[in-house]
Amino acid sequence: MKENKIPAGELSQKWSTYKSTCKLVNPANKRNIDIIVVGTGLAGASAAATLAELGYKVKTFCFQDSGRRAHSIAAQGGINAAKNYQNDGDSVFRLFYDTIKGGDYRAREGNVHRLAEVSGNIIDQCVAQGVPFAREYGGLLSNRSFGGTQVQRTFYAAGQTGQQLLLGAYSAQMRQVSLGNIKEHNRHEMLDLVIIDGKARGIIARNLVTGEIERHGAHAVLLCTGGYGNVFFLSTNAMGSNVTAAWKAHKKGAYFGNPCFTQIHPTCIPVSGDHQSKLTLMSESLRNDGRIWVPKKAGDTRKPGDIPEEERDYYLERRYPAFGNLVPRDVASRAAKERCDAGFGVGASKMAVYLDYASAIIRYGKTECSKQGIANADDATIKRLGKQVVKEKYGNLFDMYAKITGEDPYEVPMRIYPAVHYTMGGLWVDYELMTTVPGLYALGEANFSDHGANRLGASALMQGLADGYFVIPYTIGNFLADEIRTPRIDTNHAAFAEAEKAVQDRVQHFISNKGTKSVDHYHKLLGKIMWDKCGMARNKQGLQEAIQEIRALREEFWKEVKVPGVANGFNPELDKAGRVADFLELGELMCMDALNREESCGGHFREEHQTEDGEALRHDDQFMYVACWENKGNHQWELHKEDLKYDVIHPSQRNYK
Amino acid sequence: MEHKNINLNLKVWRQKNNQDAGHFETYKAENISTEMSFLEMFDVLNEKLIKEGQEPVAFDHDCREGICGMCSMYINGRAHGPWQGTTTCQLHMRAFSEGETVTVEPWRAGAFPVIKDLVVDRSAFDRIQQAGGYVSVNTGNAVDGNALPINKDNADAAFAAAACIGCGACVAACKNSSAMLFTSAKVSQYSLLPQGEPERKTRVLNMIAQMDKEGFGACTNTGACEAECPKEISIANIARLNREYLAAQFSL
């Protein structure tokens, strides 16, 4: 197994030691070095802008029509930082500890501590860029709490934190475009990685408007391409989110880490029918004030308002009194599934639970009455004022719910159900964020590194920006310092020609295939297999079946898929075909990984491994490792193990009770 | 929520590429659940077209939760369709009734050339942003976040302007194809915050110059942009932009 390059020394000193001893590239040399950044979400935009500020020549790629549209934009709730502005006992160590624990002890101490260390700098940088965070009347930054923690360390901008952070990073990126340090390639999709003499030296990309296949060379390639939740077809990801870039890198030698670690988010709007194309998240921040419940009686068909208080089961508060509705996501999701499977679900499909704001509205209303000096306020006044407060905090989320469901969440409790949201797994990277391919880096959700088996809320934004703004600018220099004698990469090299030919052949296959079924047809079938057998609960038999089913589906896909339109023009069906082809390979690997991991941890729940009261049961003696899968071609993989060493934290069974 | 199935006649703009003249095609959308989003209705239509051996309708979309700004349909003469403050992806079919004819066009503006069918090129917005829509602060320069208190009203107003998703509905809705609402939202965000102060004057001048260069029309205060904006960005931002612009011109 490749060395993870965690610096020696005391945990809290590792990153500063690294920063003061890593190799540097002088400004004149930086100007002659090209870096490709694929993906322009938080990780990609922050990395592209920062590297360009340092003087490197950067090329960015994204499949959307503008860098600003990457799916980071949809993150709602917030971003964590160990600022301790609330004086409630937060610290770098506590953020580090919560993240490791939240990840069910399957993340690296060194990486996570670094993440906690730079978290405060991220907030400072974003404020300096003019990101309009929520503020208190005194003019200072506001915080709220999120799942899995007992302090208030989450910074936010209404329910649009991802949007504001991404637009901040995008503005920095646009500034570098105007200065000529970044060259953008929008509506482009990376379709292969080019390796020369063992190092990543470029990519093959398709111009999605003209269909042209292009060669782009660089001294290093950064994949900031997000997660692969769309392997489930239905997820909270954007329609275009895909694994293709990471998968191509995997097939060219980059190991894939913990592919089965998927986060199922507890608060999403339930599926309404077969036509469903994606699922919409309702921010975890709603669990701050909302109370989750189901009727105590199975199959209760009464309207929620007709069910009296004593006949409701606030099951999270019952099972987890210490954290209540703010348990981590994996715990909350499984608890919802448990209630629905047991017949207590609500709504037409019976696959939903209530998220109720009635008591929060009363609570806020009373505070507001007291603030405004209204003595003996009647119920209507309390409710009216309470609704105003809730509207200010969560208005956009409530509006979204109303538009999608046609119901008014201020009056009727929302119905929610878990949905695929984030993938903790991803390309294996070392401490420098380099994959097993020299010169190839993976940042943000695309890598596996910081969240272990379960990510805490408001930590994805933190990690994406930490990687882009504060980690890669240092670590990439350590590699590029030895590349200053490498001239601009020649795209006439045979490796480019070979990769380009493979891409062209594949495109041609899709276009000329005389199939009968659409790409979505196969994507939906794959999604169903994954959700049923590699979703919130997994078992040996199901996973073995899933592997066989995926193989058969993949074979049929290549024979029977029908892609209309042309290769040399705008053709979204063709784009989708390539992505689904890769999902059909990834799905198999995810099931293999889930099958191999004979334990339950975080988002990975193997039914065979649970405690008496249904909690996840880890087996640290056997599985305290990162599963790193090496692609051997022809759908064969070899497992390598990176052992996880805990020097500071003593892993224990997570307890949120 | 009660739901039912409806049948619609769709009149959809088809255009092979930016050289093609383009034309309307009529399709039947049958058995459409009122629980579907407008784009899911298009998914159903496209699935049918593929089965019949026809080319599906190209349209831009990505997040499908109203925030990425990618979707961009002009529905029955309105940018993003009939619902107030809603993107096309969040418009649901319960907005339509049985037997209705629904006309769907791309954004129409000289500065947004059609790429294919309902897909247009909005890169002009990126270039306006490049002209000055940023604070020139390199990573690593920042002081502590709370070292710079900002009064809540200004912070909230800056946020309300920054909520723009850059979809271009304002341009599509405007009879002059003006990009003033988009540009003013960005200018406002920074002019309301102390971080934007050092570049306040050059920013507004450069962004307006770029906007004009892209071929967007002038603003005649009709207010269609505000009425159709899915994020309900206020036209007061345009007034602020004008003040900023005048002040910058006189003092430079």
Residue B199 sits in a domain whose CATH number is 1.10.1060.10
Please tell me whether residue A185 adopts helix, strand or coil conformation: strand
pLDDT of residue B252: 56
Rounded Cα gap, residues A369 and A385, in angstroms:
7
Residue B113: what pLDDT? 97
Residue A9, token pair as written in the block? 């020394």
Phi/psi at A460 (5° precision): -70, -45
Residues of A with a known catalytic role = 329
Q: What pLDDT does B133 receive?
A: 98
Residue after which a domain boundary falls, among B84, B116, B148:
B116
Query: What is the Cα–Cα distance from A105 to A654, expressed in whole angstroms?
Result: 9
Structure letter (DSSP) for residue A7? P
Residue A115, Ramachandran bin (φ over 0: left; ψ between -120 and 50: alpha; else beta): alpha
Tell me the sheet residues that pair with A291.
A356
The reply to whether B108 and B129 lie within a common domain is no
What is the pLDDT confidence band of residue A148, given thresholds at 50, 70 and 90? confident
Give contacts of A120 with chain B, Cβ < 8 Å: 145
Instruction: Say if residue B101 is in the same domain as residue B137.
Output: no
Residue A548 has pLDDT above 70, yes or no: yes
How many other C-beta atoms can be found within 10 angstroms of the C-beta atom of residue A151?
A: 20
Residue of A310, A412, A432, A306 lying closest to A361 (CA atoms): A412
Share of chain A above pLDDT 90, in %: 93
Q: Quick one: B218 and B176 in the same domain?
A: yes
How far apart are the CA of B228 and the nearest CA of chain A, in angstroms?
A: 16
| pLDDT of res. A618 | 97
Percent share of chain A, pLDDT over 70: 100
What is the mean predicted confidence (pLDDT) over A429-456?
97
A58: which DSSP letter? E
Residue ending a domain, among B87, B116, B145, is B116
pLDDT in the model for residue B223: 97
Task: Mark whether B147 and B245 lie in a shared domain.
Answer: yes
3-state secondary structure chain B: CCCCEEEEEEEEEECCCCCCCCEEEEEEEEEEECCCEHHHHHHHHHHHHHHCCCCCCCCCCCCCCCCCCCCCCEECCEECCCCCCCCHHHCEHHHCCCCCEEEEECCCCCCCCEEECCEECCHHHHHHHHCCCCCCCCCCCCCCHHHCCCCHHHHHHHHHHHCCCCCCHHHHHCCCCECHHHHHHHHHHHHCCHHHHHHHHHHHHHHHHHHHHCCCECCCCCCHHHHHCCCCCCCHHHHHHHHHHHHHHHHC
Read off the pLDDT band of B2 (50, 70, 90).
Answer: low
Enumerate the residues of chain B whose CB falls inside 8 A of the CB of residue A160.
67, 163
Question: CA-to-CA distance for A21 and A8, rounded, in angstroms?
Answer: 12
Contact present, A57 and A181 (Cβ < 8 Å): yes
Question: In this structure, are residues B56 and A573 in contact, taking their beta carbons and an 8 Å threshold?
Answer: yes
Q: What is the pLDDT of residues B144-195, one digit of tens each?
A: 999 999 999 999 999 999 999 999 999 999 999 999 999 999 999 999 999 9
Pairing of strands A213-217, A182-185: unpaired
Per-residue pLDDT averaged across A103-117, rounded? Answer: 97
Phi and psi (nearest 5°) for B6? -130, 165
Domain identity same for B139 and B112 = no
Average pLDDT of the segment spanning A59-88: 97
Q: How far apart are CA A313 and CA A295, in angstroms?
A: 6
Smallest Cβ–Cβ distance between A275 and the set B33, B94, B119 belongs to: B33
**Residue A507's pLDDT band (cuts 50, 70, 90):** very high
Encode A265-310 in three state secondary structure.
EEEECCCCCCCCCCCCECCCCHHHHCEEEEECCCCCCCCHHHCCHH
Strand partners, B8: B29
pLDDT band at A395 (very low <50, low <70, confident <90, very high): confident
Q: Which CATH number describes the domain made up of A494-643?
A: 1.20.58.100
State the complex-level ipTM: 0.98
Where residue B8 falls (left for φ over 0; alpha for ψ -120 to 50; beta otherwise) is: beta
> Nearest Cα to A484, choosing from A179, A59, A56, A51?
A56
Query: What pLDDT does A142 receive?
Result: 95
Residues B203 and B128 in one domain: yes
**For A166, nearest residue in chain B (alpha carbons):** B68
pLDDT in tens, A169-222: 999 999 999 999 999 999 999 999 999 999 999 999 999 999 999 999 999 999
Query: pLDDT above 70 covers what percent of chain B?
Result: 99
Q: Identify the domain containing residue B169 by its residue range.
A: 123-251
Does A136 contact B152 at a Cβ distance shorter than 8 Å? yes
- What residue ranges of chain A are covered by domains with CATH 3.50.50.60? 37-189+224-235+431-486
Nearest-Cα distance to chain A for B34, in Å, is: 10
CATH code at B63?
A: 3.10.20.30
Compute the distance between CA of residue A181 and CA of residue A183 in angstroms, rounded to an integer.
7
Same domain, B108 and B130: no
Q: Does B121 sit within 8 Å of A73, measured CB to CB?
A: no
Query: What tens digit of pLDDT does each residue of A613-649 get?
Result: 888 999 999 999 999 999 999 999 999 999 999 999 9
Nearest to A63 by CA among A578, A564, A528: A578
Q: By three-state DSSP, how is residue A127 classified? A: helix
CATH no. of A265-419: 3.90.700.10
- CA–chain centroid gap for A359, Å, is 32
Is B142's CB within 8 Å of A124's CB?
yes
pLDDT score recorded for residue A583? 98
Q: Cβ A74–B53 below 8 Å, yes or no?
A: no
Number of domains in chain B: 2
Residues B235, B192 within the same domain: yes
A570·B85 Cβ contact <8 A: no
Select the residue from B15, B46, B63, B143 to test the A interface by mutation, using most A Cβ atoms within 10 A.
B63
Q: Give B61 to chain A, closest Cα distance, Å.
A: 7
Same domain for B11 and B104, yes or no, is yes
Among B70, B101, B116, give the residue marking a domain's end.
Answer: B116
Q: According to the model, what pLDDT value does residue A1 have?
A: 81
Give chain A's mean pLDDT: 96
Q: In chain B, which among 74-103 make CB contacts under 8 A with chain A?
A: 83, 85-86, 90-92, 94
Pair of tokens at residue A130: 């003019």
A564 to B56: CB separation less than 8 angstroms, yes or no: yes
The CA distance from A623 to A616, in Å, is 14
Cβ contact, residue pair B64, A278, below 8 Å: yes
Please, where are the H alpha helices in A75-108? 92-102
Tell me the C-alpha distance between A139 and A137, whole Å: 5
The pLDDT of residue A2: 85
Is residue A417's pLDDT more than 90? yes
pLDDT score at B1: 52
Question: In this structure, which amino acid lies at residue B119?
Answer: V
Q: CATH 1.20.58.100 region(s) of chain A?
A: 494-643
Mean per-residue pLDDT of chain B: 96
What integer pLDDT is reported at residue B200 of this predicted model?
Answer: 97
Q: Are B143 and B97 found together in one domain?
A: no
Task: Judge if B131 and B100 occupy the same domain.
Answer: no
What mean pLDDT comes out for the span A307-323? 95
Instruction: Identify whether residues B14 and B89 lie together within a single domain.
Output: yes
Q: Give the model confidence (pLDDT) of B37-71 as tens digits.
A: 999 999 999 999 999 999 999 999 999 999 999 99
Banded pLDDT at A657 (limits 50, 70, 90): confident
User: Can you tell me the mean pLDDT for A22-46?
Assistant: 98
Residues of B in contact with A65 (CB under 8 A): 60, 70, 121-123
> Which residues make up the CATH 3.90.700.10 domain(s) of chain A?
265-419
Q: Which CATH architecture has domain A37-189+224-235+431-486?
A: 3-Layer(bba) Sandwich (3.50)
Residue of B nearest to A178 (CA): B130
Amino acid identity of residue A153, one-letter, is R
